[in-house]
Structure 1
Amino acid sequence: MNIDELKNTWNEDIADKTPEISIEQKNKINLPLEKVRKNMRAEFWWIIAIFVFVFLVCSVCQPFKLQLYITVLVASMLIVTIFFFSKFFKLYNDISNTELNTYESLKDLVNQLNLNKQYYLSYYISFAPFLVCEILIVLEFIPWPTPPGETKIALILISSVIGGLFLLFLVGRFWFHRYYGRYIKHIEGLLEELRV
């Protein structure tokens, strides 16, 4: 057997093991992918609008020390957001330019979506320290009629942090499931259909 015959046999074996995705299946996959892309675009513009609004609010805060603390905190949040959105933008480009011709390419896409699910959850978790700092700043600058005791400040801080983290967790899970998770599950279901 010469090398050309061996190459042809190898290519036939690979072609037999990698099932092709039909046009009907591609259409089923493209609909949830388009929804994911649409939601990613919308979320990107909402985040920009939120940061513009927050920086405008920061510009009118008084006294200057409060304005400085909040501006630095929001700028730090913006840096974290830029980092994570660069990861999301990479996924956005990948799913926009994906050639879904084989089972393996669809499997790779599902792996990328699941990896970005972890990025998304990490994005929400990364806001925990910012939440703590915001609560500390607010507690420091609230004009109390009578200065509260240390125990009262500690109780307010601890309950606010626990409540805020729980709320952040719930909102993050709900948001991800509503705008991305159900479409990822749909694509994973199509992957399971192709496996059979």
Structure 2
Amino acid sequence: MNIDELKNIWNEENIENIPEISTEQRKTLYLPLEKMRKSMRGEFWSTVGVFVFAFVLMAFSPAPFKFNFYINLLVASMMFVTAFFFSKFFKLYKEMGNPELNTYDGLKDLLHQFELNKQYYLSFYLSFVPFMVCEMIIVLEFIPRPVPLTNLQIASISIGTLIVGIFGLFCLGKWWFQRFYGKNIDKIKELVDELKK
């Protein structure tokens, strides 16, 4: 037996061992994928709207130049970080829209992509902690007060806001992901488990 015959036998055996997805299972798969794509589109456009609103608000703000400049710089930096993470989400969005999901292995690969994007999603929310700290510093430094804050008050406000902010952003990220994507991912996992049997 030569090497070409061995390759042919190997390929035939691999093809036979990969379970195909039936038409009914594809319909079951299509609904959660389409719901997730709709959530991703909505999230993208609402984020664009938030950034446009922030820039317009700062353009008409009567605050001093230095305050406006720092806030605009901060919002622009947040926009670049958001663009990086949305580029990762967009790859998954495209993959879900043109699925080559005819096999069990294709579905397993998609689930792996979902897990990676879940980590990106949590990282996305946590990446806003430094921006939150900068915003807090700008507010503490530039908002005039009748009685200036003491050093202890500034430290307490800063540390308290940081602790609450990190915990809040992490919880918000987990909740948001589960609410808009987690339930649909669970349905796809059920389909993979069904194919495994």
Alignment RMSD: 1.3
Paired residue type of 2:151: E
Secondary structure in 1 matching 2:101: coil
List alignment gaps of at least 5 residues for structure 2.
none
Over 3 Å counting, the alpha-carbon distance change for 1:169 and 1:3 in structure 2 is: closer
Q: How does 1:76-95 map to 2 (within 5 A)?
A: 76-95=77-96
Q: How does 1:121-140 map to 2 (within 5 A)?
A: 121-140=122-141
By how many angstroms is 1:181 displaced?
A: 1.3
CA distance in 2, matches of 1:69, 1:7: 63
* 2:147 is equivalent to residue 146 of structure 1: yes
Paired residue type of 1:20: E
CA distance in 2, matches of 1:131, 1:74: 11
Number of equivalenced pairs: 196
By how many angstroms is 1:91 displaced?
A: 0.7
CA distance in 2, matches of 1:29, 1:114: 17
TM-score, normalising length from structure 2? 0.95
Q: How does 1:14-29 map to 2 (within 5 A)?
A: 14-29=14-29
TM-score, normalising length from structure 1? 0.95
CA distance in 1, matches of 2:43, 2:117: 15
By how many angstroms is 1:2 displaced?
A: 5.1
* 2:113 is equivalent to residue 112 of structure 1: yes
Q: Which runs of 4+ in 1 moved over 3 A?
A: 1-8
Percent of residue pairs identical: 57
Secondary structure in 2 matching 1:98: coil
Paired residue type of 2:160: S
CA distance in 1, matches of 2:74, 2:5: 65
